[in-house]
Amino acid sequence: MIYIFEIEDILNKNVIIVCVDGGRLDRGRKSSIIKKFSDNSIFFSQSITYAPYTNSSIHALISGSYGNRNGCYSYWHSSRFKAQNFKTLVDYLHENDYYTCADLISDLVLPRKNFDVYEVYDESDVDLESRHIDLLEKMKEKNSNKKNFFLYLHYSGIHTGIRDQVLKVYNNFNEEYFENKSKNNQRYDNLFEKAEKYLERIYQKIKDLGLFKNSIVLVISDHGISIGEKVGERAYGSYCYDYTIKTFANYNSPNLPSQEFTQQVSHVDFIPTILDDLKIDPDELYEKMDGISLLDGIKNGNYKERYVFSETANPLNSNAPPKKPNTKSIRISEWKLIYNEHNNTKELYDLKNDPEENKNLIDKDIPIKEELWKNLEKNLEYRTKDDDEIPLSKRGLVSP
């Protein structure tokens, strides 16, 4: 009987997602607090976001689909998310009688549909540690009453600090900012240390409540933050360089082997992975997800790395981002192609030998360049109809 109970417990896992808004991968890799989540955990050291800003990133994460298909492809398009065509993790869990709860920085981050509780806090006046610990205790009560739950927690401390100390002080071309990288590093480190204190308390509460035994816990950053690497981007959302599109992700689930997964994955892969982990089949009445389950790759090493697409809307000299993406990238572990649509320029980087993306090789005769371009072009064919977007192949553009 004990064996049967354990099997049932594993098949009916709770799901907890903790998003660290603006968490850089380089800090996440070194974090002793994030390493505490390592039991039954997979650390993804090459997890690529669809968008280097929050709302489109999280809409892609929760739906397993890129924003150029699901409708949320800019800061302005959360309300255009195609819920009738793209089923989210929340929809799946709601149908399976989960209690669903979200606590977040803005109602632009996640669709409200099928949440039992959907709370938006004031990031300028909130104690997220106490608030989220209380929510975990409430979820435990639900679980004690034989009710599985889904909980989304959004940690905004880094975002708030960058908003107040960078975005309100400097513009994207301010020399004082870009010439003081040591100051920028220290500022970010101070903010990340506060995020670690938050994560430590969340970790301890999940452990004390015994939720690691029957829960999937995904700790993930939605995007990174600039510390002055490239003039023209003082924070995030302007470019598709690795310091903002590479994120950390830690996937904790009972009976998984602890390891670092070094191959490239996309944010859109995590929802198919969670559904696979829960033995929930994708709904064929909805659009097929762009992501794939990573479970077989985790358990058996059967994983073939795929191209990952990212895009953003570079504000250039404007105070507000445009409504359509104008900077796009396609990436594999060792190479990245960036297309700056706003001025029809392209960049090619050898990520293995030039991880900071300083040497543009677009004018070199490199075989992978053509393959990257073709894959990027294929992704751009999916632009939503209401955008009146013309495919690259019909604009008279030539291969790089």
CB 149 within 8 A of CB 216: no
* Residue 94: predicted pLDDT: 97
Q: Percent of the chain, pLDDT > 70?
A: 92
* Residue 40: predicted pLDDT: 82
pLDDT bracket for residue 190 (50, 70, 90): very high
What is the phi/psi pair of residue 345, to 5°?
A: -115, 160
My answer on whether 347 and 244 are in the same domain is no
**CATH number of 11's domain:** 3.40.720.10
* Residue 9: predicted pLDDT: 44
My answer on whether 144 and 33 are in the same domain is yes
Is residue 64 predicted with pLDDT exceeding 60? yes
Asked which of 279, 300, 321 is the last residue of a domain, the reply is 300
The reply to whether 399 falls in a domain is no
pLDDT bracket for residue 61 (50, 70, 90): very high
Give the containing element (helix H, strand E) for 373: helix 368-380
Taking the CA atoms of residue 387, residue 388, residue 392 and residue 396 in that order, the dihedral angle to the nearest 10 degrees is -150
**pLDDT, the chain, mean:** 91
Mean pLDDT of 170-177: 96
Q: Give the predicted TM-score (pTM) of the model.
A: 0.92
Q: What is the pLDDT of residues 235-272, one digit of tens each?
A: 999 999 999 999 999 999 998 889 999 999 999 999 99
The reply to whether 400 falls in a domain is no
Residue (of 134, 198, 203, 133) closest to 160 by Cα position? 198
My answer on whether 171 and 35 are in the same domain is yes
* Residue 383: predicted pLDDT: 60
* DSSP-assigned states of every residue in 129-192: HHHHHHHHHHHHHHHHTT--EEEEEEE-HHHHHHIIIIITT--TT-HHHHT-HHHHHHHHHHHH
- Domain span at residue 59 reads 2-300
My answer on whether 256 and 132 are in the same domain is yes
CB 51 within 8 A of CB 311: yes
Sign of CA pseudo-dihedral 131, 136, 141, 147 = positive
Distance CA 190, CA 253 (A): 30
My answer on whether 278 and 312 are in the same domain is no
Would you say how long the chain is, in residues? 400
* Residue 2: predicted pLDDT: 36
* Residue 255: predicted pLDDT: 85
* Residue 10: predicted pLDDT: 41
- Retrieve residue 98's tokens: 């989960």
Q: What is the pLDDT of residues 340-388, one digit of tens each?
A: 999 999 999 999 999 999 999 999 999 999 999 999 998 887 664 445 4
The reply to whether 383 falls in a domain is yes
Is residue 170 predicted with pLDDT exceeding 90? yes
Is residue 130 predicted with pLDDT exceeding 80? yes
Ranges 14-18, 168-172, 318-322: which has the least confidence: 318-322
Helix, strand, coil % over all residues of the chain, rounded to 5: 40, 20, 45
Residue (of 232, 179, 173, 216) closest to 40 by Cα position? 216
Higher pLDDT, 400 or 143: 143
My answer on whether 257 and 380 are in the same domain is no
Mean pLDDT of 122-133: 96
Q: What is the pLDDT of residues 5-53, one digit of tens each?
A: 343 444 489 999 999 999 999 999 999 999 888 788 999 999 999 999 9
